[in-house]
Amino acid sequence: MNNLNKYVAALDVGTTGTRTIIFDLNGIEIARDYKEWESIFPSPVMVEQKATVWWNAVHETIVNAMVQAKLFDRSN
């Protein structure tokens, strides 16, 4: 956990979900996580999404990717 400065996290917040990918400094993918969210269609020409759902998904994918990469321990 003291080697966090050796990695880069890329976040992709898209239309249907968010993705976090962790790379080492050589560009090698170490871990990734994706969370999809619901879009609300109040009419055929409108779409709505909740910012809190985005925020929670971003947080969740960051934590999950860090756990997969063994950079974060959920038990602490």
Q: Where are the domains of the chain?
A: 4-68
pLDDT surpassing 80 at residue 28: yes
Of 17, 2, 3, the C-alpha closest to 56 is 17
The pTM assigned to this predicted structure is 0.84
Please report which confidence band the pLDDT of residue 1 belongs to, taking 50, 70 and 90 as the band edges: very low
pLDDT the model gives residue 73? 83
Q: What is the largest CA-CA distance in the chain?
A: 50
CA 17 to chain centre: 9
What pLDDT sits at residue 13?
A: 93
The 10s digit of each residue's pLDDT in 32-74 is: 999 999 888 999 999 888 899 999 999 999 999 999 999 988 7
